[in-house]
Amino acid sequence: MVKLSPVPPQFQPTLVIPQDRPVYRIGEGNFFGPDDHLYTEGNVVAWDDEPNEEMEPLNDLARDKMIAYLAKLDAAGRKVAEKIGVGYTSKEDFFKNAQLLAKEDAKKVQLINGQPEVNLMGGKKRGRPRIEKIAGAQPAPLMGSAGKLSLGHKEA
């Protein structure tokens, strides 16, 4: 008997990010766009104006705009911090470091249950694989209540 899920699977269409406009994913909180249109968390928007800190850049144009915006905030923040005599932590440096860490973390990810990688243009992977199956290996004998590896077995 085949069991069917009461909820049909939901398929997400592939997100194609245009490279001619800055594209952002709305993060925590909401974003009010032109004409007071509300964009909620998780929406992906193309936005040519100045971003805010809750927007995650999804392409290079958006990343450059975000860095310029954070540099503007840093300039104002440093002036205020200097005036009141406290230290200031750069938002731009924090953003750049977070981007570098995300790239490093992405290198550690390996696809387990998807389609195997297809080598483009006949390219071949180089170097020794980190794991490989050894052909012809015998399974280890199991311990049990009878047999050679049991506790009651005595050598003759």
Q: Across the chain, how many H-helices and E-strands are there?
A: 2, 5
* 46 inside domain: yes
List phi, psi (to 5°) of 55: -95, 135
Segment holding 71, helix H or strand E: helix 60-84
Where does the pLDDT of residue 84 fall: very low under 50, low under 70, confident under 90, or very high at 90 and above? Answer: very high
Residue 100 in 3-state DSSP? helix
* 6 inside domain: no
* 13 inside domain: no
* 124 inside domain: no
What is the domain range of residue 75? 23-108
More confident residue, 124 or 59: 59
Least trusted range by pLDDT, from 26-35, 60-69, 92-101, 135-144: 135-144
Number of domains in the chain: 1
d(CA 155, CA 152): 10
Token pair recorded at residue 62: 């958006």
CA angle 40, 45, 46 (to 5 degrees): 160
In this prediction the pTM is 0.58
* 70 inside domain: yes
* 114 inside domain: no
Query: Which residue carries 């077995």 as its tokens?
Result: 153
Supply the mean pLDDT for the chain: 76
Residue 140 in 3-state DSSP? coil
Tell me what the mean pLDDT of segment 19-24 comes to: 88
